[in-house]
Chains A and B, each alone.
Chain A
Amino acid sequence: MALKIVKGSIDRMFDKNLQDLVRGIRNHKDDEAKYISTCIDEIKQELKQDNIAVKANAVCKLTYLQMLGYDVSWAAFNIVEVMSSSKFTYKRIGYLAASQCFHEGTDVIMLTTNQIRKDLSSPNQYDTGVALTGLSCFVTPDLARDLANDIMTLMSHTKPYIRKKAVLIMYKVFLKYPESLRPAFPRLKEKLEDPDPGVQSAAVNVICELARRNPKNYLSLAPLFFKLMTSSTNNWVLIKIIKLFGALTPLEPRLGKKLIEPLTNLIHSTSAMSLLYECVNTVIAVLISLSSGMPNHSASIQLCVQKLRILIEDSDQNLKYLGLLAMSKILKTHPKSVQSHKDLILQCLDDKDESIRLRALDLLYGMVSKKNLMEIVKKLMLHVDKAEGTTYRDELLTKIIDICSQSNFQYITNFEWYISILVELTRLEGTRHGHLIASQMLDVAIRVKAIRGFAVAQMATLLDNAHLLTGNTQRNGICEVLYAAAWICGEFSEHLEDPMQTLEAMLRPKVATLPGHIQAVYVQNAAKLFATVLRKHDGETESQAAQETSQLLIDRLPLFVQSANLEVQERASCILQLVKYIQKLQQKNVEVAEEVTALFAGELNPVAPKAQKKVPIPEGLDLDAWINEPPSESESEDEKPKAVFAKEEPKHSRSRHTEVDEKELARRREVRKQEQANNPFYIKASPSSQKVYDAPGVEHIPVVQIDLSVPLKVPGMPMSDQYLKLEVERRQKEKAERKKKEKKKKREKRGKERKADSGPESEEDITPAHQVDIVTEEMPENALPSDDDDKDPNDPHKALDIDLDKYVPYCRHLQFIHVLHIVYDIQGNHQDESKVVVSVIFENKSDSFLKSMEFNVLDSLNSKLQRPEGAGAHDSLTVPFQLPPGQDTHAFLFVSSVSVSIVAVCIDCFLMQSDESSTHEKLDFKLHFTCTSYLITTPCYSDAYAKLLESGDLKGSSLRLEGINMPFHHLLARICFHHHFSVVERIDSCASMYSRSIQGHHVCLLVKTTVSIDAKCDEPSLLGNVLDEIKQTFSKC
């Protein structure tokens, strides 16, 4: 034996420890995988040895390997072995490994329940601590259920080190086993006032986390937090509390008003930037939740903005970043106060840090107005030119477009300017956002009718200079723009000055190198242009130009017919045939223009993207019903196709042979038109659009003539600036005119009154350059309201949405109507088994202030109130606090129980209260002690359990529960949780459970899925009472 031990320790000397492993991996850079696999082999050998030190060392190394990404789940059982070592150094290694490697799917976790329970109740606080830490990482719903009571007890441990950990772990337990929240809540609340700041902070953390998800349940804690906020000096805790208030204020505006003052004080006084930042954030949140009719709060906003400005101006990039982040929150509700700092934010665009620049861009998005849009975009365009790196430049590009297009182009007063901005953006090298620019061009050209003439001219220029965009193959993204250009030129070709030239540009051989979908649009729109050209030369006899056009198409289209892209090929050959036919007609001097134009008549209206989804299902339409009954299964398969053919054939022949005379056709057309007119879902051609081809409608003439001529056909030259200048001039002119008018008026009114001078130009004064009729997107008439539910059903926090103010079935309540509300809970005391702890919450329901309360218990044979030393047997305890109206607080009472046989007892208590008028009142009440209170969850191994049953000391009894229909594991969970039992073993249809009273009586249960309980105990009266209580618990549900 001795030899074996010596041999073991010599072996150990040659084992690699973690340090060797780390060093070894470093030294084997070339064949790391191979080295590690040999290490794993060694570890496997080490794990087979009996020596726990060797095993712990091996597990320690595995933890490192796991971190490197190696699967070590095969060693889970060894980890459990090391966890159960009695030596702390090894136990710690085991728990560390478990916390890193275990997860809900790890099956050996089942085996750990009793070990963890043992460690939790260990006299060594570090054993308990390490178990708690480990548990926080791998707690499963089962563990949470089984250990909830133990951890709850630890929340009142004597050592703050344990208390704070237990409090934090409870949050994980709540998540995994939501039922535990309600009974644990009173104790959690009481920890907010723990004498140890660490425990306090832990409780604040947990409640913050709970309240973030379901704030309304925690509103009642606001006064307590308010007190904490004004008393705590720990910044980490303050930050959490302030955050919590941020979550609560939207629910309780009065709270917000109260908060502003202390928060502003903190903002003024604190030197900690993190706290300052949090305060500013919360003040913003509070002000957002308050109604806007609070004029005196503009000072708070000003203060926040000022402080944020200081942050943004700081040389510390972190502060700068956070300042911008917070600024964007203010922007949403108080844009005016932020807008005055435009200069600062524009400066941030020059920052070296990309994330700061992006934040600044976000801010600019919200800062634009009709007045400053052009100026801001001009600055951004300069940045686009300077920007390094395509990602940032692309970001700039999208932001420019976002800024301009936001809320339906609300801020754009001059669409010519916008189109020219878009055209300028096409000159960006290497951007990925050609598609975005293209969709903007299409959007504007379609929806702003007045701009079409200008847009078409610009697009024609683009098409003409397509080589600039496609010249470099790397600039592929941008050629998407040509898609839009071609479509716009085609669709609105009536605005083209020289359609022939554009047509020529669209049919250049170079086009064949463009992506297929763009070519397809080119071909299709070439046909539209063709129609336009024909119409232009309509009426001219023997029009040379029209015939030339046909010839051009016939010459160029074959190139596209050969295209590998099916879409291009199909369209090209179709149109080629058409043109050939037209050419024939032309040669016969037949008027064709009108008919060709008719091919493309009608206007496309924009349809809202959601329109299709919103179409309600008509009454009586059942989408699940079969249109044709499916063939019965008995039919043999080869019969089916026959039947289909036989049915279809006559139909075909009929339709082909029906002759319909002209009259009939006209009648049908009329009927169809009528139908369409009545159908809200049919996209109609507006009456004006049909006129387009006869004579352009009045509304198509731009209100402002573009005779302020800007050279349009200078490719490669930015021109939006010129529009900016023109716009400024225009506004000045307008302003001057307005002033003139005002002066005129004044002159007329002279002598009567003096008018105030016109202040700076306000937003409303700016009139758009165009009568812009933005066509709104069509939606079906009776669109269904959207019912988007953005709540995630899988959110674990949903289960924690428990109204904690509601009746708590597991704590007992006593209520003296209008005066005092008492909630109490009784738990066995782990530290001293002759005592039970009664925690009591007093809540003052009256309107008056409770100055002092005394609490007394008439001691009985069974129970005694633990009084301070020196106090007489009948002295009462003074409750150490005063109660303002509407508040509640906690007290602890230790009651020692000296009964030999425990039965449910009642303690007679009375309470003295006095209010402001110094009236005294005595309230009598009874605390009902259930037997469950005396049971302590105690682990029991199955062999010990079997022995206990065999010993014959226990007397049996049984119980049937009626009308229970819950899953078996829920039933077990309830018994475990409410009656302090633990599951010893579970075999298919039954489970054995165990618990022990504080006087050491054993209680054994055998619960069957048939919901009958066989129970055994060495104290019959205890057993009877426990069974009665179990029955009661289940009768409540």
Chain B
Amino acid sequence: MIKFLLMVNKQGQTRLSKYYEQVELGKRAALEADVVRGCLARRKEECSFVEYKDYKLVYRQYAALFVVVGITENENELSIYELVHNFVEVLDKYFSRVIMFNLDKVHIILDEMILNGHIVETNKNRILALLALDKMAES
């Protein structure tokens, strides 16, 4: 099961965080800092899986953006690694450039893909169906 998903920039600032298991607000900052430090410090030639406390972290870097996913030890690392890529592809498809200003939309996409810490949808069109509806409502 997926415990949390973070999007972090190269400076280590959290851009988006989503927890699938309740973590106290006070503890989130420390956890994020810890997790991010662990991943950012790694070099390109090092593998994308890190053991962290009782989680496993799977991370991927896209230019200046890091996506870090915390998973339980019974989750398949490679499938999550692919999921991250799928997620980023969906983002890429929907947003022309900057996603920072549309965080609520990123949340929608994420909620369509992962629910309750499990993968629910990986089809790009179906994921974006809700946003298309939203766009129609706005215009």
Contacts and interface: CB of A to CB of B under 8 A. Distances in A.
B42 to A, nearest CB: 8
A22, A67, A273 pick with most chain B CB within 10 angstroms: A67
A201 B46 contact: no
A171 B116 CA distance: 8
A829 to B, nearest CB: 25
A71 B26 CA distance: 9
Interface stretch (A350-358, A592-600, A746-754): A350-358
B14 interface: yes
Interface stretch (B63-71, B88-96, B129-137): B129-137
A317 B45 contact: yes
A88 B119 contact: no
A274 B118 CA distance: 16
A212, A278, A317, A320 pick with most chain B CB within 10 angstroms: A317
Interface stretch (A161-169, A514-522, A561-569, A1027-1035): A161-169
A243 B79 contact: no
B55 interface: no
B34 interface: no
A16 to B, nearest CB: 12
A161 B134 CA distance: 17
A212 B74 contact: yes
Contacts of A103: 22
A92 B50 contact: no
Nearest to A202: B120
B79 A235 contact: yes
Interface string A109-148: 0000000000000000010010011001100000000000
Contacts of B126: 161
Contacts of B1: 209
B120 to A, nearest CB: 6
Contacts of B22: 103-104
Majority-rule SS of A interface residues: helix
A971 interface: no
A853 to B, nearest CB: 34
Given A88-B134, A243-B76, A355 B50 contact: yes
A104 B24 CA distance: 11
B47 A318 contact: yes
Nearest to A67: B17
Given A89-B138, A236-B122, A317 B16 contact: no
A486 B18 CA distance: 56
B47 A172 contact: no
A352 B118 contact: no
Given A209-B1, A355-B49, A239 B79 contact: yes
Contact of A320 (B47, B83, B115): B47
Interface string A197-212: 0100110011001001
A425 B24 CA distance: 44
Interface in A352-385: 352-356
A32 B126 CA distance: 39
Interface in B22-44: 22, 25, 28-29, 43
A64 B17 CA distance: 10
A32 to B, nearest CB: 11
Contact of B49 (A66, A92, A202, A318): A318
A1000 B93 CA distance: 48
A355 B46 contact: yes
Contacts of B121: 164, 198
A352 B43 contact: yes
B17 A168 contact: no
Contact of B76 (A23, A67, A278): A278
Contacts of A18: 101, 103-104
A1004 interface: no
A188 to B, nearest CB: 14
Contacts of A202: 118, 120
A267 interface: no
B47 A355 contact: yes
A92 B116 contact: no
Given A89-B137, A235-B79, A239-B79, A96 B104 contact: yes
Contact of A321 (B20, B47, B111, B115): B47
B114 to A, nearest CB: 10
B10 interface: no
A93 interface: yes
A339 B125 CA distance: 49
B50, B104, B108 pick with most chain A CB within 10 angstroms: B104
Contacts of B107: 96
A381 B86 CA distance: 44
A136 B47 contact: no
Nearest to B29: A69
B49 A236 contact: no
A96, A133, A161, A172 pick with most chain B CB within 10 angstroms: A133
Contacts of A212: 74
A66 B77 CA distance: 29
B120 A198 contact: yes
A60 interface: yes
A552 interface: no
A322 interface: yes
Contacts of B25: 66, 69, 71
Nearest to B46: A353
Nearest to A281: B76
A68 interface: yes
A235 B138 CA distance: 37
Contacts of A354: 46
Contacts of A214: none
A194 to B, nearest CB: 13
Contacts of B50: 355
B76 A136 contact: no
A209 B101 CA distance: 36
Interface in A68-97: 68-69, 71, 87-89, 92-93, 96
A530 interface: no
A63 interface: yes
A245 interface: no
Contact of A67 (B14, B20, B51, B79): B14
A93 B104 contact: yes
A43 to B, nearest CB: 15
Contacts of B46: 317, 352-356
A492 interface: no
Nearest to B123: A198
B115 A317 contact: no
A168 B103 contact: no
Given A71-B25, A129-B130, A169 B115 contact: yes
A919 interface: no
Given A22-B101, A89-B138, A92-B108, A164 B120 contact: yes
A705 interface: no
B95 to A, nearest CB: 13
A243 B79 CA distance: 12
A929 interface: no
A353 B47 contact: yes
Given A66-B25, A317-B46, 9 more contacts: A63-B104, A64-B103, A69-B29, A89-B134, A96-B111, A99-B111, A161-B126, A206-B118, A354-B46
Interface of B: 1, 14, 16-20, 22, 25, 28-29, 43, 45-51, 74, 76-79, 81-83, 100-104, 107-108, 111, 115-116, 118-122, 126, 130, 133-134, 137-138
20 contacts: A19-B101, A68-B14, A89-B134, A99-B111, A100-B18, A126-B130, A136-B20, A136-B115, A161-B126, A165-B115, A198-B121, A236-B79, A243-B74, A274-B82, A317-B45, A317-B47, A317-B48, A318-B49, A353-B45, A355-B47
Interface of A: 18-19, 22-23, 60, 63-64, 66-69, 71, 87-89, 92-93, 96, 99-100, 103-104, 126, 129, 132-133, 136-137, 161, 164-165, 168-169, 171-172, 198, 201-202, 205-206, 209, 212, 235-236, 239, 243, 273-274, 277-278, 317-318, 320-322, 352-356
Closest 10 CB pairs of A and B: A274-B78, A317-B47, A353-B46, A321-B47, A19-B101, A205-B118, A136-B116, A274-B79, A133-B111, A168-B116
